[in-house]
Each structure stands twice: as structure tokens, then as C-alpha cells.
């Protein structure tokens, strides 16, 4: 250990006599983005960041990550929140500390490469709305995908952080593809592109401490920009990896406030502050100020999100990540997908198939969106292939990848798979070798036309352009053209605590199970909050044979109650919209096309009455964020179409009928 790490143990306290470090480790906080993205499915609401925002601004973080990654998607889709508004709101509370976002380069904050005009506009609007640091990565580490966004970042006068996605094919750093030389070359490429800092992005938490030491040591020697380390805790190695990286001279590391740390998230900041206290790399952070923020998060915020935390496991680490070198998020996606398809028992086959698919697809890094692309294709292969045919159901995204639309893969794609994927592919059967966005037509003019009269500004249009289906839905909620559904509304702390109390009671056997032969709830039923001594219940009340007569109600939140009680059957709970659809099919003769998996309808490629030939795409179904083009098994005429764009469908729902 070198001299600067020696601590003087004499009487030093947290604040008094604490020497100022010569080379303090800089820290970026991820609580507001990767923290809740990793632990709570990105469901963190802006209103739950505000209570600690000003205190966070006082800590001295190098930056606070507030945006990007999956936030843009989940906010408008699940939280009925305008993603742009979050930036502007948080900026009012966090005035000193720069904001950082995760930008998927030409994929922006979506899952495919977008056209240059959209990419440029997105960066400009992000900067204008308050973004300072653009942490930019490409899933294939193909920096041609940086060529549009980087000049836009620079023109806006903002910080360009270039990422190298860390991945391996062996249990440790090395091998033919992802070795030390690979990372040095990538860092040099980024330096040449004008990177203001360089980030090693270890999304899977597979960077081992001594490998981190080797990489950081050599990067500090070979390139000038500051080196930043982003390492997920998933496998349990990250705190050790941090320490070795710090010894090797890393400039910046990523952490979360402790309630948002560990599991698939990141190391917590507090142990790091204490570990470095009084050393030459002391962060200088006030541990008591951090503790105060934790107290607020624990008591006032986390109860609202607890139910999202997977708690069926004792262990907070996932050793599968060590065994399979794949991101934890990807593994949990695979498990969810298998569950939805009643095939969880085939997980071992999926683990076996995964490295084969990855190799076929050019040994690509596994990070959004490539982790999903490889993951879903793997599941498709396990479920639909047979001994006579491999890659029976190829997703739209794998076709795009084979065409070259995501960029250049680390090693060439298996030519057989590529040929099969590109058979009849709409852009052409011959793959491209140029920068992918060069083959994309500008997207904004069409997007503007599509949402004319609905979008009020460029931010709205960009949201729609990136997420046409859910974006349009959101804009209708935003401008009062459609009522947002119950499930996108925020939960109060009181509601969350009451819910937990009821769950605890149910677990303790103190709640009486409702009788099986209970009558069906009618639209006259009303909900009441009932308080018995200090106990709280939400109770549905309905008078038999008529409109409800209210004899007693605890007046909780009076402005909300009348709205919920309105008898208009806007959305009767007992009859979901889609249950009506299959009925329409019953009398149509022909071959039904069933949903092979649960998902959302993206589009129908044909109308009722159109003729279709065998193998032609009839409907595009989005499942697990991947688009699956479903081919017609027969030639004929489209007799019935049972859903529309944006509808959710269950496995085996009849999507359409060919006769």
C-alpha cells in the first residue's frame, strides 16, 4: 500500500482535524436513476426525490444522475409523468451539483437506432431542459454510433462522457476478444473523439477487483481524460472492485444512498466515505449529512416502493451472474419471460443456449438493448425450435442486428443465422457495413405530422417519436384527452403504510378470508376507509338491490372520493376490455393467429379483407420490449382483426383470423 493511504489514527473525528485529501475520490450519486432503476423497476417518482434533493445538493457529489436509461420510458408509460418535466423540477432544488444522464448513443433512451435528426434534437432538448453530463454508451461499443450525438453535446457546451461497456467471454478479463488491449484501444478512440471523461461501464457487476486494478492502472497511463467507474453490486464484488480501482488511481466512482444500494444496484456511499476517511483519497463527505438523507428516504420514501423489491431471497447477491457473466437485470427478465409463458422449468436450457446465441450474434456485450435482444432470442429458441430447425422465430431486433442496424459486432455474426434472419427482410437481404444511421430517413417530419394537434412543443414530439404507441397514449393523458388509468396514479405514504399493515395482518392470519361465494362487485359499490381504534381498512360497501345508502363514512380525502364513486361504468372492474374481443371471432371461419406470448400489439400489417401469403407478416407484437413479427401460417384473406395498436394481449389470445 502506498503512503497516501496511511491514516493518522490520533484523535481524528468525523469533522474536526480531518485532513483534506490531496486527491479526493469524486463520487457520482445514482439514487435518482440507476438506484431505483435497478431495485424498483425505475418506478421512482419525481415527488419522491424532492424531499431530499436540496440536501443531496449539499454533499459535494461530482454529479447526480437524474435521468436517462429507462426513466424516459417508465415515466410516461407507467407513472403518467412527463420525463422532460422531471429535469426542470429537480433543477429547481439541485442548483450546484451537475446532472448526469445515461444516453444510449444513437438509441437515445429507447431500444433501437433513431435517425440523425431525432438524435440531434433529443440531445439539444435534453441540454436545454437541464442536462449537464451526457454519459454515452453504445451496446456494441461501436463508436460510429456516437458520431451524431457527440457533436450535439459539444455544441450545447456540455460534458461528453464516453463509455466502454465492460464485458467478458471468460470468467476473468482476457481471451481473444475482450482483453486489456481491447479496453485500451476503446479508451484511445474515446479520447480522440474528445471525451471529457471515460467510463468503464460494468453493468453486470462482473468486473473483478484485480482486473479493475489492471484496467484503471493502464488507462491512467495511456489516456488523459479522468476515468470513471460504474460497477453494479449484483455479484457482490463491486465494493472490493471500487477499492482496488481507487488504489489504481480511478478518478470517479458511482454509488447510491444506502436504501437504494446493493442487490442489483450499486455499492452504498456511506461505507466508502468511512473506508477512505483520513486517507489521501478521502471523499471529504459529511457522513452525518448522508445519515440525515438516509433517515428521510427510509421513513418517508422507501415504504412506497418496498413492494417492488424482490424479497423472496435471503441472499442479496446473485451468484448466477458470476456463473454466466450476464447482467442480473437480464437474468431476471429471462425468468419473468419464462414465467409468463409457463416455462420456468426450462431455465437451465436457457442458460445453456445463451452463450450459443451470443456467439452466433457476434459475441456482443450484454447491455440494454443487446441484453434483451440476446435474451429474448434465446428464450424463443428454447421454446420454439425443434431438432429440424434452429432460429424458428427470429425477433425483429435480431433481424435489425443481422442487417447491421445496431452497428458492428465484436466478431462476425454466424453467416447461416444472418442469412436466415435477413430472408425477406424489408430493408434488404444484404447487410450494411456503414454507420447504421446513414440508412435511416429523417424521422421528425413524419412524427410532427402524426401528432399534429396533440403535441404542443418539440419535447412532446420527441417523446412520441421515440415511443409512438405509449407516447401518444401519454400525450392524451397529459392534455386531458383521455383519463389516465388508476394504476399510473401515485400512491401516498399513508396508503402504502396501510397496505403494508394489512399485508402483515394477512400474513399473521389476522384477516378473515372473504367467502368464496361472495356476490360479484357491481358498479354501485363504493370504497371507504374504515378506522377501528387505530386500525385502518379500505372497505367496499354496496347495498343489496339498489343504489348505496351511506350511513357512515370516515371523511378521508373528500375531494378524491366523489370522483371514484361516480357510478358511470367507465371501466367496470369485472369486465376487462379485452375479454370482449374473442367473442367477435367465434363465428369467423379460418385459421386463427394466436399470441405466442403475452405482450402489446404494435401494429397490424394488413386490414380486414386484404389478401396475405404464407410467411408474410400479419401482426407485430411487442413482448419484453422486443418486437416479434408474426407470420401468417397460411395464404388467404384477413377475415378478422381483434385488437388494435396499443392493446395488451394474453398468451393464446386470437389476434386475427385468416380464411
In the chain, what is the greatest distance between 2 CA atoms, to the nearest angstrom?
A: 87
Cβ 203 to Co ion shortest distance, Å: 5
**Could you give the CA distance from residue 444 to residue 434 in angstroms, rounded to a whole number?**
22
Cβ 241 to Co ion shortest distance, Å: 14
Cβ 148 to Co ion shortest distance, Å: 23
Between 30 and 187, name the residue whose CB sits nearer to Co ion. 30
Between 43 and 606, name the residue whose CB sits nearer to Co ion. 43
Q: Is 34 in the site for Co ion (CB under 5 A)?
A: yes
**Could you give the CA distance from residue 464 to residue 451 in angstroms, rounded to a whole number?**
8
- DSSP β-ladder status, 648-649 and 626-631: unpaired
Cβ 250 to Co ion shortest distance, Å: 16
Cβ 34 to Co ion shortest distance, Å: 4
**Could you give the CA distance from residue 358 to residue 370 in angstroms, rounded to a whole number?**
9
Please give the backbone phi and psi of residue 245, each rounded to the nearest 5 degrees, phi first: -65, -40
Q: How many residues appear in the chain?
A: 659
Q: DSSP for 484-496?
A: PPGGGS---HHHH
Q: Which stretch binds Co ion (CB under 5 A): 33-41, 57-65, 391-399, 484-492?
A: 33-41
Q: Which of positions 316-355 make contact with Co ion (CB under 5 A)? A: none
3-class DSSP state of 185: helix
* Of 276, 289, 198, 288, the residue nearest 25 (C-alpha): 276
* Of 71, 84, 76, the residue nearest 121 (C-alpha): 84
Between 83 and 328, name the residue whose CB sits nearer to Co ion. 328
Count of residues of this chain found to bind Co ion when the rule CB under 5 A is applied = 1
Between 39 and 619, name the residue whose CB sits nearer to Co ion. 39
Please give the backbone phi and psi of residue 283, each rounded to the nearest 5 degrees, phi first: -70, -25
**Could you give the CA distance from residue 54 to residue 59 in angstroms, rounded to a whole number?**
9
Angle, alpha carbons 142-87-115 (nearest 5°): 35
Between 34 and 627, name the residue whose CB sits nearer to Co ion. 34
The neighbouring-strand residues paired with 65 are 100
Residue 546 C-alpha cell reads as 339498489
Q: Is 627 in the site for Co ion (CB under 5 A)?
A: no
Cβ 232 to Co ion shortest distance, Å: 6
Between 165 and 463, name the residue whose CB sits nearer to Co ion. 165
Between 205 and 396, name the residue whose CB sits nearer to Co ion. 205
Q: Is 254 in the site for Co ion (CB under 5 A)?
A: no
Cβ 330 to Co ion shortest distance, Å: 12
Between 34 and 247, name the residue whose CB sits nearer to Co ion. 34
Cβ 151 to Co ion shortest distance, Å: 25
**Could you give the CA distance from residue 98 to residue 27 in angstroms, rounded to a whole number?**
12
Q: Which residue is nearest to Co ion (CB)?
A: 34
Cβ 254 to Co ion shortest distance, Å: 8
Between 135 and 408, name the residue whose CB sits nearer to Co ion. 135
Q: Which stretch binds Co ion (CB under 5 A): 34-42, 485-493, 563-571, 627-635?
A: 34-42
Q: Which stretch binds Co ion (CB under 5 A): 29-37, 115-123, 460-468, 507-515?
A: 29-37
Cβ 205 to Co ion shortest distance, Å: 9
Between 200 and 383, name the residue whose CB sits nearer to Co ion. 200
Cβ 28 to Co ion shortest distance, Å: 11
Q: Which stretch binds Co ion (CB under 5 A): 26-34, 126-134, 440-448, 576-584?
A: 26-34
Between 97 and 368, name the residue whose CB sits nearer to Co ion. 368
CA dihedral 467, 469, 471, 475 (to 10 degrees): 160
- DSSP β-ladder status, 626-631 and 617-623: antiparallel
Kindly tell me the sign of the dihedral angle through the C-alpha atoms of 399, 402, 406, 410. Answer: positive
Q: Which stretch binds Co ion (CB under 5 A): 28-36, 325-333, 388-396, 631-639?
A: 28-36
User: What stretch of H or E contains 100?
Assistant: strand 99-103
* Of 308, 258, 294, 301, the residue nearest 47 (C-alpha): 301
Cβ 41 to Co ion shortest distance, Å: 14
3-class DSSP state of 101: strand
Cβ 207 to Co ion shortest distance, Å: 12
Between 39 and 630, name the residue whose CB sits nearer to Co ion. 39
Residue 71 C-alpha cell reads as 426513466
Residue 60 C-alpha cell reads as 459535494
Between 29 and 34, name the residue whose CB sits nearer to Co ion. 34
Q: What's the N-to-C CA distance of the chain in angstroms?
A: 76
Cβ 266 to Co ion shortest distance, Å: 7
Q: Which stretch binds Co ion (CB under 5 A): 27-35, 155-163, 377-385, 396-404?
A: 27-35
Place of cell 423540477: 89
Between 34 and 48, name the residue whose CB sits nearer to Co ion. 34
Site string for Co ion, 564-603 (x = CB under 5 A): ----------------------------------------
**Could you give the CA distance from residue 259 to residue 293 in angstroms, rounded to a whole number?**
10
- Alpha helix stretches (DSSP H) within 42-148: 50-59, 71-78, 83-93, 116-129
Place of cell 420456468: 344
Residue 565 C-alpha cell reads as 364513486
Q: Which stretch binds Co ion (CB under 5 A): 15-23, 30-38, 398-406, 470-478?
A: 30-38
Please give the backbone phi and psi of residue 506, each rounded to the nearest 5 degrees, phi first: -60, -40
Q: E strands of 196-251, at which residues?
A: 197-202, 227-231
Q: Which residues bind Co ion (CB under 5 A)?
A: 34
Amino acid at each position: 500500500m502506498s503512503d497516501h493511504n496511511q491514516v493518522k489514527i490520533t484523535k481524528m473525528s468525523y469533522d474536526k482535524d480531518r485532513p483534506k485529501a490531496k486527491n479526493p475520490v469524486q463520487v457520482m450519486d445514482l439514487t435518482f436513476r440507476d438506484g431505483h432503476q435497478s431495485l424498483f423497476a425505475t418506478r421512482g417518482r419525481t415527488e419522491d426525490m424532492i424531499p431530499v434533493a436540496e440536501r443531496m445538493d449539499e454533499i459535494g457529489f461530482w454529479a447526480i444522475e437524474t435521468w436517462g436509461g429507462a426513466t424516459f420510458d417508465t415515466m410516461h408509460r407507467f407513472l403518467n409523468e412527463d420525463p422532460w418535466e422531471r429535469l426542470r423540477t429537480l433543477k429547481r432544488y439541485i442548483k450546484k451539483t451537475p446532472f448526469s444522464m445515461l444516453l444510449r448513443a444513437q438509441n437515445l433512451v429507447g431500444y433501437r437506432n433513431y435517425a440523425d435528426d431525432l438524435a440531434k434534437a433529443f440531445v439539444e432538448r435534453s441540454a436545454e431542459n437541464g442536462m449537464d453530463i451526457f454519459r454515452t454508451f453504445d451496446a456494441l461499443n461501436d463508436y460510429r454510433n456516437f458520431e451524431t450525438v457527440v457533436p450535439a453535446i459539444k455544441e450545447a457546451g456540455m460534458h461528453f462522457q464516453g463509455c466502454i461497456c465492460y464485458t467478458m467471454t471468460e470468467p476473468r478479463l482476457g481471451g481473444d476478444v475482450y482483453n486489456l488491449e481491447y479496453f485500451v484501444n476503446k479508451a484511445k478512440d474515446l479520447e480522440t473523439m474528445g471525451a471529457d471523461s471515460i467510463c468503464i461501464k460494468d453493468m453486470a457487476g462482473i468486473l473483478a477487483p484485480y482486473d479493475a486494478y489492471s484496467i484503471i492502472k493502464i488507462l491512467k497511463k495511456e489516456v488523459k481524460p479522468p476515468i470513471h467507474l460504474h460497477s453494479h453490486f449484483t455479484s457482490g464484488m463491486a465494493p472490493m472492485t471500487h477499492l482496488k480501482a481507487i488504489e489504481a488511481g480511478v478518478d470517479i466512482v458511482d454509488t447510491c444512498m444506502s436504501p437504494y444500494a446493493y442487490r442489483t444496484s450499486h455499492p452504498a456511499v456511506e461505507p466508502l466515505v468511512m473506508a477512505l476517511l483520513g486517507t489521501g483519497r478521502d471523499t471529504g463527505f459529511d457522513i452525518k449529512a448522508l445519515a440525515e438523507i438516509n433517515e428521510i428516504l427510509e421513513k418517508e420514501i422507501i415504504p412506497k416502493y418496498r413492494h417492488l423489491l424482490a424479497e423472496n431471497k435471503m441472499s442479496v447477491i446473485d451468484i448466477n451472474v458470476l456463473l454466466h457473466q450476464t447482467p442480473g437485470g437480464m437474468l431476471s427478465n429471462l425468468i419473468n419471460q419464462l414465467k409468463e409463458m409457463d416455462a420456468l422449468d426450462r431455465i437451465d436450457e436457457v442458460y445453456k443456449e445463451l452463450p450459443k446465441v451470443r456467439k452466433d450474434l457476434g459475441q456482443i456485450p450484454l447491455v440494454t438493448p443487446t441484453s434483451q435482444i440476446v435474451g429474448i432470442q434465446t428464450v424463443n429458441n428454447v421454446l420454439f425450435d425443434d431438432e429440424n430447425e434452429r432460429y424458428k422465430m427470429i425477433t425483429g431486433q435480431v433481424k435489425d442486428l443481422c442487417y447491421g442496424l445496431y452497428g458492428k459486432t465484436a466478431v462476425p455474426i454466424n453467416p447461416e443465422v444472418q442469412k436466415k434472419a435477413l430472408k425477406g427482410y424489408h430493408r434488404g437481404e444484404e447487410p450494411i457495413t456503414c454507420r447504421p444511421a446513414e440508412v435511416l430517413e429523417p424521422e421528425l417530419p413524419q412524427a410532427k405530422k402524426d401528432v399534429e394537434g396533440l403535441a404542443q412543443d418539440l419535447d412532446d414530439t420527441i417523446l412520441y417519436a421515440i415511443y409512438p404507441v405509449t407516447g401518444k397514449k401519454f400525450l392524451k393523458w397529459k392534455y386531458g384527452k383521455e383519463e389516465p388509468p388508476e394504476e399510473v396514479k401515485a400512491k401516498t405514504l399513508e396508503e402504502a403504510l396501510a397496505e403494508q399493515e394489512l399485508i402483515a395482518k394477512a400474513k399473521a392470519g389476522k384477516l378473515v378470508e372473504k367467502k368464496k361465494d361472495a356476490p360479484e362487485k357491481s358498479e354501485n359499490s363504493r370504497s371507504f376507509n374504515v378506522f377501528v381504534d387505530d386500525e385502518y381498512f379500505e372497505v367496499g360497501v354496496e347495498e343489496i338491490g339498489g343504489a348505496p345508502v351511506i350511513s357512515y363514512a370516515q371523511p378521508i380525502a373528500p375531494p378524491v372520493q366523489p370522483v371514484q364513486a361516480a357510478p358511470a361504468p367507465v371501466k367496470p372492474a369485472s369486465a376487462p376490455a379485452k375479454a370482449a374481443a374473442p367473442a367477435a371471432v367465434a363465428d369467423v371461419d379460418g385459421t386463427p393467429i394466436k399470441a405466442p406470448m403475452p405482450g402489446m400489439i404494435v401494429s397490424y400489417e394488413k386490414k380486414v379483407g386484404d389478401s396475405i401469403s404464407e410467411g408474410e407478416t400479419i401482426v407485430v407484437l411487442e413482448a419484453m420490449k422486443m418486437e416479434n413479427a408474426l407470420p401468417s401460417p397460411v395464404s388467404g384473406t384477413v377475415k378478422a382483426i381483434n385488437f388494435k395498436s396499443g392493446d395488451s394481449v394474453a398468451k393464446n389470445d386470437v389476434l386475427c383470423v385468416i380464411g
